Amino acid sequence: MYRGPQFCWPFWLGLLLVTTLAGALASCSSTPKPTYFPGYPVGFVEHGVASWYGPGFHGNKTANGERYDMHQMTAAHRTLPFGSIAVVRSINTGRQVTVRINDRGPFARGRVLDLSLAGARGLGMTGLGTDKIELRVVGYQGRAADMGTLRVQIGSFSDQQNAINLLERTRHLYSGGRVQAVDLPEGRRYRVQVGQFSTETQAEAAASYFESSLGLQAYVFRDDS
């Protein structure tokens, strides 16, 4: 039976068509790309120890200028941009809470997050005081332009002169050094902070130097002032 003129696709053209269609289908079904903002993609994950802070700070100004309300679901982190929304999950119990980063801290070795009282209660960690957690950034409410540079804190003293002496010892190493006075429940403290870094890699390298060469406890944090 006559079927009319026959047309044969060149092999390479057929292969190109199949490849194009496969790519189009994959793009339709694949997971959307994460939303990025400077320094941290949504999806940033960190593991460590969380602590909490409560009555002694209630009503004080947080680092972003708000009044700390221990009954709200907020938290302090040293470097995450203010407005970061994070899901915090207890490694021990599996319980989780969602908090907004609005403060800086904790300045204690081995800890990555300071939860509000409400957040700590949500994880059931108020009795123990600390818990092993996984932190995952799931959103961001804020402006990238508001993000500050990174600094390294190398000391905290009750005596101002001791802070000034340490700053003078290290002033030649990094520019932008200062002594910052902060009022805590246990009294006024004078924090020695040095450097102005654009990336965490640079800041962490400086912190490692202070710890290994000078025996100081160093903490990287974002300066939002």
Q: Does residue 199 have a pLDDT over 80?
A: yes
What strand order describes the sheet that includes 187-197? 178-184, 187-197, 149-157, 219-223
**What's the confidence (pLDDT) of residue 22?**
41
Does 36 score more than 70 pLDDT?
no
H-assigned helices in 71-187: 117-123, 160-170
Domains of the chain: 37-145 (2.40.40.10), 148-223 (3.30.70.1070)
Of 85, 122, 115, nearest to 100 (Cα)? Answer: 85
Question: Of 4 and 46, which is predicted with more confidence?
Answer: 46
Confidence of residue 20 (pLDDT cuts 50, 70, 90): very low
Q: Tell me, what's the pLDDT at 179?
A: 96
pTM of the predicted model, to two decimals?
A: 0.75
- pLDDT tier at 37 (50, 70, 90 boundaries)? low
The strand pairing partners of 67, in sequence order, are: 61
Which pLDDT score is estimated for 177? Answer: 93
Given a contact cutoff of 8 angstroms between Cβ atoms, the answer to whether 99 and 116 are in contact is yes
Look at residue 30 and tell me whether its pLDDT is greater than 70: no
- Give percent of the chain with pLDDT exceeding 70: 80
Chain segment 175-194, per-residue pLDDT in tens: 889 999 988 888 999 999 99
Mean model confidence pLDDT for the chain? 83
Instruction: Please give the helix or strand (H or E) that residue 210 lies within, else none.
Output: helix 200-214
User: In this structure, what token pair is assigned to residue 143?
Assistant: 């402006």
Token output for 140: 């961001």
pLDDT, tens digit, 9 for 90 and up, residues 113-168:
999 999 999 999 999 899 999 999 999 887 665 678 899 999 999 999 999 999 99
